[in-house]
Each structure stands twice: as C-alpha cells, then as structure tokens.
Amino acid sequence: MHTLIVIDRLPYGDWHGREALDMAFSLAAFDRPVTLLFRGAGVNWLRPGQSADQLSQKSVERNLSAATIFGVSALLADKAALRQYRLSSDQLSQSASETDLTPAFYKQFDAVVVL
Amino acid sequence: MTRSPALSYTLVISGAPYTSQAPQSALAFAKALISGGHKLDRVFLYGDGVYLASSLVTPPSDEVNWTQLWSEFLMQTRTPAVACIASALRRGILDSAEQTRYEQPASNIAEPFEMAGLGDWVEATMTSSRILYFLPTD
Amino acid sequence: MPTLHIINKAPDHPRFPACLRALAEDDTLVLIENAVMALVFESLPLPPCYALRADVNARALSESSVTGVKMIGYAGLVVLTETHQRVMNW
C-alpha cells in the first residue's frame, strides 16, 4: 500500500505542510511506502536559499532534507506550478521530479492524503 | 437492493470546531455509517482538529457544543477516539500524563478522547477498509 | 480503480481546479460544505456529480437545480463510500 502525501500550501504561513510532512515521516518510520508531492503553491517548499531565523521558525528546507534519509520514496513537484512560481527543477533545494498531475498519475497510489 | 458487506471506517478530523464544518460533517457521517450497518474503528484528531478534544470548549448557550456532542456519541457507540499527541501538545490540549511530564498547571482533554501518536493513524491506513478526512474549509 | 472524490473547498479555492483535473472518466465527485457553491459559480466546468443536501439547503441553493447534479444525504454519501474502494478528500 503506497501513500501519496500532498503539500499544496505555502511554507511558513501555516502548519499544514509541517503536519503533512510528519505524516509522511511516520509512514516511512513504519516502513510503509510513501511519496511526497508538492502541488500548486506547495512547490515553494522547494525554493532554495530559505532563511526563517527571523520568523523564529525552523527552515522547512532543513526538515525536507531528511525526507529520503527517513525513507520517503520520492519527492515530486507539480510541473505547471514550478513554471507558475518561476522555479526550475534543476535549482530546487531538494531534488524532486517534475510531474504532470493527470488522473492516471494519482491512480498509481493506493491512498492520497492532503491536509 | 443487495447491501454490500459491512466495512470498517477510520475518520480523521483535521478541521477545528467553530473554525470549520469538519467536526459536524464528520459526526453526521459517523452516525450515517453506523446506521448503514458499518463499523467505526476509530476517530483520529489531527492538526487543528485536536481542538475538538478540549473539555474547556464553552460556546454561547444558543450554539451547539460540538465537543460534548462528539463525546456523547463516542461513549454511546464505544468508539475509540484519539488526539494526535504532537498536534495536541502544540495547541495546548493535554491529558494528565502530559501535564505531569511537562509540569503544566492543568490538563484539559475531554472524555473519552485519548492521546496517541501518528502510529495509530498508520495502523488505521492498514486495517480500516476506508479512511475519510474531514478537512479545514480554507 | 474508480475513485470517490469528496471536496469541501469553495469553487474559488485553488484545490477546486486541482480536484477537477484529477478526475478520471470512471471517478465520482461529491460536493460537501463550501464546495456546493460550485452549483452557482459562473463558468465552472462542473462534471456530473453529487451534492450534499444539508449543505445545499443551508446555503439557499436548493432551487438552483443544475443538470447533472444529484442531491444526496449523509446515508447516500455512505453508500458511495461502499461502492468506491478508493476515496480522496480535497
């Protein structure tokens, strides 16, 4: 059973993304296959050079860098949203595969979770 | 009409009461699934959904107390209900064990809610036939 | 596998178009909570779908019958989760 966890909200403005990431890490900790998708505004999680010290928040970039170490199978990024937010896949803070969000894409996963 | 065999459900609530419709939609759905002959395995509160487990919720007298309605339903149906411990502690929802551990002045989790980790949710993804998420509205 | 998509976001929320794009031919869409506003939202390519009656009535949309939209109650929603093994919440 492979789960897709989707982050589609901007980083720092709320806690949805961090709590979605916790779900992904928990699945991985129990050896459940899990993939992370950054969709829509969520692709900004992958913008390089984040520095959240002045917000007294932990950089989500640092949280994310642990994803594959913790056993998250893959990081995927919404291809159209990367263009919309002027991000190119070779400059992202974490390596993530550009993905077309077709109905067939979602059907590859047994469960899809977004907060 | 032939009915499909009974299914087991986990309901995850991640929208807060009075901020979203999530707890009320989830309660209506929970009652309907039981009337439909199915089993409610558990309710899992996550993110802002943990506010539903605060025993201090005190709405004006002409508004529904969603915590109280949920508590009554959970006790009547003997349904296990869990608030994610990480979400809950951040938002000031504590049971007496966490109150002691963090030396806080009070605990406030409403009966019959309990605290547990995301491991309970992971288990639900493996054991319940259906998981439904009742999400924030915004 | 046919998927049941349940959306509670208003039609002008970014998740609404994302949900519509994810719908496959054999999937089913249900509008609940704020999503029922899609019944009257201008120029939205709303596919045939279901809408939760309680949310429709609360928002005074009961008269705005839209072709291809069927009203259901919570029991009807439970039946849809019986017939679809895969459920996605939006």
The verdict on A113 touching B (C-beta cutoff 8 Å) is yes
Residues 81-110 of A with CB under 8 A from B: none
Contact present, B10 and B33 (Cβ < 8 Å): no
The verdict on C2 touching B (C-beta cutoff 8 Å) is no
Count CB atoms within 10 A of the CB of residue C68. 8
Between chains, do B36 and C78 touch, taking CB under 8 Å as contact? Answer: yes
Model ipTM over 0.90: yes
Contact present, B65 and B27 (Cβ < 8 Å): no
pLDDT tens for A20-54 read 999 999 999 999 999 999 999 999 999 999 999 99
The two three-digit tokens of residue C42, written as one number = 């201008």
Tell me the count of A-C CB pairs closer than 8 A. Answer: 32
Q: b/e map of A59-84 (b: 16 or more CB within 10 Å)? A: bbbebbeebeeebbbbbbbbeebbee
CATH number of the C3-89 domain:
3.40.1260.10
Give the residue extent of every domain in chain C: 3-89
pLDDT tens for C30-54 read 999 999 999 999 888 899 999 999 9
Using CB atoms, list chains with 3+ pairs below 8 Å to chain B: A, C
User: What integer pLDDT is reported at residue C66 of this predicted model?
Assistant: 79
The two three-digit tokens of residue C19, written as one number = 């949900």
User: What integer pLDDT is reported at residue A71 of this predicted model?
Assistant: 95
Task: Classify A13 as helix, strand or coil.
Answer: coil
- In this prediction the pTM is 0.96
Domains defined for chain A, CATH in brackets = 3-114 (3.40.1260.10)
Measured between CA atoms, how close is A86 to chain C, in angstroms? 18
Task: Quote the CA–CA distance of C32 and C81 in Å, as a whole number.
Answer: 14
Distance of CA A33 to the CA centre of its chain: 15
The verdict on C27 touching B (C-beta cutoff 8 Å) is no
Q: At what angle do helices C74-83 and B22-35 cross, to 10 degrees?
A: 70
The two three-digit tokens of residue B34, written as one number = 């039981």
- DSSP 8-state class, residue C23: -
List the single residue in B7, B36, B135 with the smallest CB-CB distance to C75.
Answer: B36
The verdict on A15 touching B (C-beta cutoff 8 Å) is yes
Instruction: Place C67 in a pLDDT band, splitting at 50, 70 and 90.
Output: confident
Sheet holding A3-7, edge to edge: A97-99, A74-78, A34-38, A3-7, A111-114
Tokens 């961090």 belong to residue: A18
- Residues of B classed as catalytic: 84
Q: Which helix (H) or strand (E) holds B28?
A: helix B22-35
Does residue B112 have a cis peptide bond before it, meaning omega lies within 30 degrees of 0?
A: yes
Task: Classify C80 as helix, strand or coil.
Answer: helix
Domains defined for chain B, CATH in brackets = 8-134 (3.40.1260.10)
